[in-house]
Structures are given as structure tokens and as C-alpha cells.
Structure 1
Amino acid sequence: MVQNVCLGAGGKPLSGRSPLDAGCTQQRDLLPGERLPYHKHDQPSPDERADAPEGYQRHDSIPVPTAGEGIAIEHSFDFGAGEGRRFGAFDAGSDGGDLVILSAGVASIGATEDGGAGFQLFVGECRGTVDATALRHAWIVADLAASQPGTLQGETVARLKDLRAAQQSDCPDRYSAAYTNWRVIPFRYRAAPGQGSPVTLTTLLSEHYGGMNRANADHVERFYFTRELGGTRWERWQNVQGNQQASPERITQQAAWFAGTGRCSHADPPEGGATMVLIDCREWSHIVPASDPDGDAPGFFVKALRERGMAPPFLAAPDPR
């Protein structure tokens, strides 16, 4: 879940070097509070590379100490292309991130923020007041207890609810069901121009279906995590039958437009019966050196939540005493 750093003499992280560098012979997870020697950016469309040479979005995967969830993993959404946007500065209304909670063999996305719905908590089934435990079995990424013996491969039906800003105090009365599966696969990732050849990495792939049954799910969100880079790719697949928000014709048009952007390499569609088309994807395999030779300060999404007074108590910074 956490991106690795390449180590030099004395075990010190090497500035500007990533674990994908051919000369990186020793690496480990980025540590809480440690400065980032590099950033991960998405791949721009080939015809927009001149205007967005560093891509559109930065997606760092960093460990964040919290008061109630221990060490959570932040995966930032930092847009830096376009008028008024710059990497490293939180732009409210567009930037955000996902926060993965690790607990008792379960990895669960417990909070998110984007330019559409703003800051949300994801909670699993709970009663009374929302507390730290409610986030630990919500948007399931993987669950060791539900995996096949000796593997990291399994499936479950998650029951969860997204709580927006004015609804985050109390557990909800109703929950949505989401068929979820996960498995470990080899996957080939693109390299940015001048950064070597494509690379195949062992990948934890997690699929979150929009509904209890794969056969009639509205959509699928697919997440790719690697030991080297943490969050490395994301895809959104849509059922071609359409829904209340988009007709079949509109979905077909969107899929055709996205295919023409060339932003992501090929991936097979999700299985399960429903015909799905890819309508969005980001592949964060473009490595960008830190601005500071000593590494950039960690913290983006959760830091901004705390500064805006939006973080619930269990996502606050831990007591330093």
C-alpha cells in the first residue's frame, strides 16, 4: 500500500530515485513522517504531453499516523495541470485522496475526497455514533479472513455507506451492497518517455462492483497496488446498459472518447456477466523527482482535512506525548 524508497549508503533514501530504477538494489517502505524523494504522476494523453509533461494528477502513497486508526495509508489526488492548479498545493473543490485503514487483516478505504462529492467517510455496518471501528470494514480492498487459505485471493459482499459532510456523526439506517474480489497478478505498467521500458510488477488487484451481483452491477472500480509504488493504477468500468445518469449511447461515446486518449495501457474487462466498458483510468507510473533535494515534506489530503477542521477525532493527529 505504501510506496517504497530506494536506499543508498547507510540506508538513507536517495533523492529523485524510485524503486523502479535499474540501479536500485535496496528498497523499503516510506516511513511515517519521512520526506518523499520522488512523486508518482499519471500518464498524460500523448497529444497533450507538451502541455502537461508531468501528467494531470499526483498520487503519493504515504503512511499517516492517526489518533484512532493507527497508521493509515493516504493515496493523494493532487491535480497540477490546468489554469490555477499546481502540484503540491491543495486546491479545494478538485483535490483530495483516499485513506486506506488497516485493521485485523482487512484493508478498507475509510475516507475519500474528490471534486464531485467532497469529503466523505465510508462506514461499514455500525450502530450509534460513528467511531474509528466503523471505517475498518467499509469499502473493502482485501480481507485475509475471506481469502483462500495461503493466498491473497478472495471475495466478499461489502455492506457500506458513504457519509457526506453533514451526515458523519451517526451510523446510517441503510447500507449498499458491493460484491468485491481481490487477487494477486503480474501486470505490465507503462513508463514515461526517458524512464526506461514498461515494467511488470506483482500487483494486488481489487474490484469493487456497484451492486451485490456481478451479473447486473452498474459499474466496477478496479484498484492496482504494488509493493514498489503503492497505489499504481485505477480504472472505472461502466455497464453498457446505462443507468439514470447516462444512457447506453452516452456510455458508448464516453468509452470511445477515453480509448482515444491513450492514457492507459490495455486491461481485460471485469468478469461476471455484465458487459463493461472502460470510461476512465489513471496509471501513476510516471516518476517525478522531489522539488527539494532533501525530499519533499509528506502530507497532502489528511493534512488539508486537519487544517480545514474537517477531520473527525479519530483521524486527527495522534497525541505526541
Structure 2
Amino acid sequence: MTKVFVFSLAALAIGSAIVPGAVSFRAEAATGSTDIYDYMVMNVCVGSDGSPIKGNPLECSQQRDVRPGDRIPYVHADFPASPKDTGCKALGMSRRYAFPLKAQGSDEAGQTYPLIAALTDYPPAGAPCDFGTFDARDTATLLAVGPKSASLVGAHHHGGWFLTIGAGYQDPRKAGVSRFMNTWSFPRTVPAKGQIGWGVFKRRTERFAAANISRQAFPASNAALGLTPTIQFWKRIEFKYGLKGTETRPVDTLLHIPFTKLAATGDAPGESRGSEHFYLTKELGYVTRWESWARDDANKDVIALARKAYTSPSCSMPATIAGQVTPHFWVGPVIDDVAAGVYRQQIVIKDRAGKKTSHGWYMTGCHDFTNVSAVAPYDPFAKLTEDDFGQDFIRQFQSNGRVPARK
């Protein structure tokens, strides 16, 4: 029987207690730790002295989280659109980076929170080798790791700045980063392998045209601001990544599945017709694989998209959280439907009266970012900085308006 843990907003942790404070940098192998920080930041292979060396984190035995000052001798990307692609196109369609910014967030109590930058780097159209410069095509996501949880707190892409607002924003006693926590969230302590956790989180995303967000446009708090309840599930699994037929070894993974609508029962998705699945690993961080899923009655050609995803060599058999997850939420196993050419599963939701509603769900897209290539050592912290987000934007996550540097 699968054990299920509820993500309590009172405790906001699964397993052992977490001592508040900034994350300390440490040289360790990819095994052992259950701190969500280690599943969000990319790793680097290290020698006996703890310094970075050449190697693929999916293969080397000695590794640690990347830290300021490191020069990284690899990049990881998704796989090319076609297995016939050569040269620059074979490097993949986009690259991923995940590393802590030098600045940190803070809350009303002065508690510091590491801020993690997750960069998706797309080369300009027509120049498939031109990675590395943050530009209009790229997406920068900002995550914060607090003493009890980690959350997606903001983003900058396509000419916009985005704040992911949580319930803390409705409380005038809150300040800085705590206004954006518990939105798109992850447990600070990752559960034991095979165990499922879930939680209900209120959130709202606001877009701004500039990094300098005025108090008129965004007051320090707003008790009346409407937030949408979401339900999010996660499970610690072992998963094989890579191209079909040449998959990696089983890799320790946190699978995160959020739904943007909540059922009246409070423990199941509402009328959500789509979902994204995120795979986080200690080796490559946030994210190592991404999938889009759609319900059979979604407002698009679900089967056509599912068939296209199924034919992609980089979209191997997906994982799931199969079983009776909550009293009102049942998830069936993923089926490799060779005849239909799709990956699908059944989800059943029961209402308060006991009536069951069943829908088929289909994987409609996938990016596996385990296409690792050796490169000349580079500084990942130069690819996306506080200045790229905008110092004024970063100050939104500061309780006192200044940006303390990591020691």
C-alpha cells in the first residue's frame, strides 16, 4: 500500500525537522540528502579536494551542488527535434541551468532564503549554436528555499516580470519573500522513496511591464486580493531518463504534479483539463524532465498531440503517482498504448455524494534535459545574474529592500 502524506501548512515539512538558516555549501555524493535544495540546484563532479572536474553528474560518483566560483565543464539540454540532426542542432533545442544567486531573500523575521535561478536558454532562431546570452527567447524562473518549503516565487521572460503571490501577501505582518511562498511548492524534506505527498496552496500570478514595480502597482500587502486554490502532488521515485532504448540508470527523482483547480472535497483536482509534470534530480536540478498532460475533453486535439509526443525518441515511458492517492482521488497506471500510439492513464475523482467521474489523460508533450555534453569550463553564474532579473525585482523578495550577498 502506498503511504500518502498531507503537506500541512502548519508543519510544511515531511520527515525530520529542518533547522532554519541559510543553506550551507557542502561537497557530497548525490545520495543521502533529502533536502529539496539538492533537488533544485545542478551538480558538478568533483575530485578528492572538492574542486570541479570533467564528468557527467549522471555518471560520476563524487559530486556536489554547484556553488559560486565554480567553473562547470558540461551543459545539459533536451534532445534534438530529429535523431538525424547533426552539428549544432544535435546539441538540443534548449539548455537548462539551475544555480543559487549570490543575493538571498529574507522575510519579516530576518530569516534568509536561498534564491535559485532556473534558466531555460534557447538559441536565437537560425543560430542553433548561439546559446549562453540571456535574451528575449529565454525563460528565467526564480525559486526560494525556506525553512519549511521551497516555492516558485517569480519569473522574467518575454519582456515581462512575474510575481507568484501566495497567502502571505494577504497578511500585513508578512514582508519580503514570505509573501510569495507556498504557491507552486515543494516539501523542504523530500519523502522516502515510493511515498506520495500532497498539499493545497493558494496562488496568483501577476505580470508587470518593468522590473521597477511601484507600490501603487503592487502594494506591500493586500488582504482583499483574490487567490486561486491549487492542489499539488509529489512522489519520490527512481526514473530512467534519456532516449528510448538508451536510458540512464535509475535516478533518484522527485516527481511534482500540480493542478490549477481544486475540487469541493478539498483533496482532489477540480475541473482541470491540463497539467504539467516536473521531474527534479540531485544531479541536474530543476528541471530534469518536463511533461504536459491533457484531459480527454481538453479544448485541443489531444490525441494528435499525444501521438506526436509518443513518437519522440526522447519521450520515454512517463512516471506517475498511481493508486488511491486521497479518499476522493484515484490515479491509474500509465499505459503504453502501442496500438493507439499514446501514453495514457485514467483518473477518477469522487465528489462528496460519492459520484465518480472518470477521464482519460494523455501525455501531450515532453522535454528530457539529460542530453549532457562536455564543454570548456564556464561560469554559470555569469549567464543569469540579479541584474538580468533587475535589482528592483529582486528587492521584492527582501524584507528590508536591500539585497544581502551570500557569504
TM range (shorter): 0.7 to 0.9
| Contact preservation (8 Å) 2:77, 2:93 | yes
1:169 counterpart (205, 218, 239): 218
1:199 aligns with 2:265: no
1:224 aligns with 2:260: no
Shift of 1:320: 7.7
Distance in structure 2 (CA, Å) of the matches to 1:255 and 1:25: 37
Shift of 1:36: 2.2
Shift of 1:58: 0.8
1:124-203 residue pairs with structure 2 within 5 A? 124-125=166-167, 126-127=169-170, 131-142=176-187, 144=189, 153-166=196-209, 169-170=218-219, 171=221, 173-190=225-242, 198-203=248-253
Larger deviation: 215-224 or 125-134? 125-134
Shift in alpha-carbon separation, 1:256–1:135, aligned structure 2, 3 A: same
Which secondary structure does the structure 1 equivalent of 2:68 belong to? coil
Larger deviation: 149-158 or 65-74? 149-158
Shift in alpha-carbon separation, 1:113–1:192, aligned structure 2, 3 A: farther
2:365 counterpart (262, 280, 284): 280
Counterpart in 1 of 2:290? 234
1:267 aligns with 2:353: no
Shift in alpha-carbon separation, 1:308–1:66, aligned structure 2, 3 A: closer
Distance in structure 2 (CA, Å) of the matches to 1:87 and 1:312: 28
| Contact preservation (8 Å) 1:5, 1:19 | yes
Which secondary structure does the structure 1 equivalent of 2:311 belong to? helix
Shift of 1:95: 0.4
| Contact preservation (8 Å) 1:202, 1:227 | yes
2:260 counterpart (195, 210, 215): 210
1:91 counterpart (127, 135, 148): 135
- 1:212-270, Cα deviation, whole Å (9 max, x unpaired): 1325322111111111221211111122212xxxx34x333323333333332121567
Shift in alpha-carbon separation, 1:48–1:298, aligned structure 2, 3 A: farther
Shift in alpha-carbon separation, 1:150–1:228, aligned structure 2, 3 A: closer
Distance in structure 2 (CA, Å) of the matches to 1:314 and 1:66: 10
| Contact preservation (8 Å) 1:58, 1:78 | yes
Moved over 6 A (4+): 147-152
| Contact preservation (8 Å) 2:241, 2:247 | no
| Contact preservation (8 Å) 2:197, 2:233 | yes
| Contact preservation (8 Å) 1:211, 1:218 | no
1:19 aligns with 2:57: yes
| Contact preservation (8 Å) 1:190, 1:199 | no
Distance in structure 2 (CA, Å) of the matches to 1:228 and 1:218: 32
Distance in structure 1 (CA, Å) of the matches to 2:387 and 2:126: 21
Task: Name the larger-Rg structure.
Answer: 2
Counterpart in 2 of 1:123? 165
Distance in structure 2 (CA, Å) of the matches to 1:154 and 1:143: 12
1:32 counterpart (68, 82, 89): 68
Aligned partner of 1:253: which letter?
A
Distance in structure 1 (CA, Å) of the matches to 2:143 and 2:93: 22
Shift of 1:309: 5.9
Shift of 1:106: 0.5
Distance in structure 2 (CA, Å) of the matches to 1:260 and 1:227: 28
Which secondary structure does the structure 2 equivalent of 1:133 belong to? helix
| Contact preservation (8 Å) 1:35, 1:298 | no
Alignment RMSD (CA, Å): 3.2
Shift in alpha-carbon separation, 1:88–1:155, aligned structure 2, 3 A: same
1:51-66 residue pairs with structure 2 within 5 A? 52-66=89-103
Q: Could you tell me which runs of 5 or more consecutive residues in structure 1 were left unpaired when the two chains were aligned.
A: none
Aligned partner of 2:305: which letter?
Q
Which secondary structure does the structure 2 equivalent of 1:99 belong to? strand
Distance in structure 2 (CA, Å) of the matches to 1:218 and 1:20: 34
| Contact preservation (8 Å) 2:69, 2:379 | no
Shift in alpha-carbon separation, 1:99–1:320, aligned structure 2, 3 A: closer
